[in-house]
Amino acid sequence: MNKLFALWKQQARKLNLEVYALYLACRDPRVSWQARIFAAAVAAYAFSPIDLIPDFIPILGYLDDLVLI
């Protein structure tokens, strides 16, 4: 169980890097406006302090971030 939780936690941390890449893509003028809106919504959710399931709840806290993003 701890290995699974550690793996999900590691994946959630990697997700921060990917969300930053989405943020940079939003600012690129070559990207269509539809993709910009979608990327901005995903980045806003990821960086938002408001979370559907708080991260301190074991397993579910990180799982909701992985699933939604």
Cα angle 57, 18, 25; round to 5: 135
**Tokens found for residue 6:** 């550690």
User: Does the pLDDT value for residue 61 go beyond 80?
Assistant: no
What is the rounded radius of gyration, in angstroms, for the C-alpha atoms of the chain?
14
- Nearest CA to 40 out of 20, 14, 15 is that of 20
Collapsed DSSP state (helix, strand, coil) of residue 65: helix
User: Does the pLDDT value for residue 62 go beyond 80?
Assistant: no
For the chain, the structural domain boundaries read 2-68
Summarised one tens digit per residue, pLDDT across range 3-59 is 887 887 788 778 778 878 877 888 888 989 998 888 878 777 777 777 667 767 777
Type of residue at 54? P
- Give backbone dihedrals phi and psi of 51, rounded to 5 degrees, phi first: -130, 140
